[in-house]
């Protein structure tokens, strides 16, 4: 046993077979790292076969370890982010590119849910994508070709494509999935599109401040705007043009309006602008269209933009849901 301890202390992972005249120490032999235990009298054929068996096992382990090293080197050489999930959408493994793209280390991602790490939304309707097997079933063909907006931990934005492939056991039961995220391009500027849920929650919070007579917000100017030729732009130029339009709309409005302004997009691509006003501030008139670009330059061509809009003031003792419904009817 002391010899085995000395070998282990030197980092030499050598399988040991103990040979003795009694079985008294059998349990200790296995406890101290023995792989087999043979008692005397020795039967040559049996002993040779048991030694050969341990050599075969050791060789298989070494080959498996070397194959694993080669596989990891190959996967980590890819520029695509690869994540391996179990059937509960928990991250089991990831490559170096996934760490770089998401901003999380592999240790931080270990046993984390994929949707807590990857913030992915559709460019077409700004709706978040949940990377689950249900997504694969319902949107597999679309995911592989469509473009998505990914926001990483540092607030950087990337246009990506996504492929989800399921993993099945021998009995054809679902056992997990692999996700591949391919970066199309990194988007400049830390603009952010609020999705419908987050945007409406923020507006409801502002409305609560108004109804509580807060000095921060005494009223809210609400606008709902619609790009009239949206379908034509999508069919002619695709999602990239729509993404650029959204970016320029947000950039133009945020540079001309107060920082507390809430800007976000509904699922139908209408966008909402909510401007809070303090007690002594003058409410903005319905001139927000003058702050929006009339054209954008895309792939060597000017795209003309035209909007319809509705305007409503939210004051104290009003119900924000009623105001939002009314403004939606007007637009």
User: pLDDT tens digits, residue range 214-259?
Assistant: 766 788 889 999 988 888 888 888 777 887 888 888 878 877 887 7
Residue 36 has pLDDT above 80, yes or no: yes
One fold for 81-187 and 196-330: no
Give domain 81-187's CATH superfamily: PAS domain (3.30.450.20)
Selected residue with higher pLDDT from 216 and 198: 198
Q: Sign of dihedral through CA atoms 37, 66, 89, 108?
A: positive
CA distance 264 to 197: 9
Tell me what the mean pLDDT of segment 289-311 comes to.
86
Residue closest to 225 by CA, chosen among 204, 246, 243, 202: 246
What residues does each domain of the chain span? 2-76, 81-187, 196-330
Beta bridge pairs of residue 221: 275, 313
Torsion of CA 310, 316, 322, 327, to 10 degrees: 0
Buried b (16+ CB within 10 A) or exposed e, 207-239: beebbeeeeebbbbbbbbbbbeeeeebeeebeb
Question: Which tokens go with 70?
Answer: 């080669």
Q: How many angstroms separate the first and last alpha carbons of the chain?
A: 84
Residue 91 has pLDDT above 90, yes or no: yes
Write down the pTM of the prediction.
0.49
Asked if the peptide bond before residue 41 counts as cis, ω within 30 degrees of 0, the response is yes
Judge whether residue 137 has pLDDT over 60.
Answer: no
- Residue 244 vs residues 71, 232, 252, 306: alpha-carbon distances, Å: 39, 15, 12, 15
76 burial (CB, 10 Å; 0-12 / 13-18 / 19+) is: middle
Which CATH architecture fits 196-330? 2-Layer Sandwich (3.30)
When mean pLDDT is compared across 14-23, 34-43, 127-136, 299-308, the lowest value belongs to: 127-136
Under 8 Å CB-to-CB from 312, ≥6 apart: which residues?
A: 222, 323, 326, 327, 330
Rounded Cα distance, 275 and 313, in Å: 10
Q: What is the pLDDT of residue 92?
A: 93
Q: How confident is the model at residue 283 (pLDDT cuts 50, 70, 90)?
A: low
The two structure tokens encoding residue 296: 């954008």
């Amino acid at each position: 046993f002391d010899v085995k301890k000395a070998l282990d202390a030197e980092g030499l992972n050598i399988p040991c077979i103990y040979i003795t005249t009694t079985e008294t120490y059998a349990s200790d032999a296995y406890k101290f790292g023995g792989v087999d235990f043979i008692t005397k009298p020795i039967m040559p054929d049996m002993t040779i076969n048991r030694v050969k068996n341990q050599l075969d096992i050791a060789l298989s382990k070494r080959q498996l370890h070397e194959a694993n090293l080669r596989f990891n080197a190959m996967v980590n050489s890819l520029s695509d982010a690869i994540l391996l999930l179990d059937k509960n959408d928990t991250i089991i493994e990831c490559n170096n590119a996934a760490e770089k793209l998401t901003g999380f280390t592999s240790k931080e991602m270990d046993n984390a849910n994929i949707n807590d790490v990857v913030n992915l939304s559709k460019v077409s309707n700004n709706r978040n994508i949940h990377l689950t097997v249900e997504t694969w079933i319902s949107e597999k063909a679309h995911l592989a070709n469509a473009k998505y907006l990914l926001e990483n931990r540092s607030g950087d934005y990337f246009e990506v494509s996504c492929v989800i492939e399921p993993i099945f056991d021998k009995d054809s039961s679902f056992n997990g999935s692999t996700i591949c995220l391919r970066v199309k391009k990194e988007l400049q500027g830390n603009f952010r599109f609020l999705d419908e849920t987050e945007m409406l929650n923020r507006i409801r919070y502002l409305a609560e401040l108004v109804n509580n007579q807060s000095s921060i917000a005494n009223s809210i100017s609400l606008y709902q705007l619609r790009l009239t030729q949206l379908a034509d732009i999508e069919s002619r130029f695709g999602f990239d043009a729509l993404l650029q339009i959204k970016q320029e709309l947000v950039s133009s409005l945020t540079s001309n309006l107060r920082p507390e302004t809430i800007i976000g997009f509904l699922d139908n691509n209408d966008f909402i602008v909510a401007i809070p006003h303090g007690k002594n501030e003058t409410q903005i008139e319905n001139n927000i269209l003058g702050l929006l670009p009339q054209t954008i330059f895309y792939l060597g061509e000017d795209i003309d933009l035209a909007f319809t809009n509705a305007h409503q003031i939210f004051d104290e003792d009003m119900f924000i849901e009623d105001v939002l419904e009314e403004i939606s009817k007007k637009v």
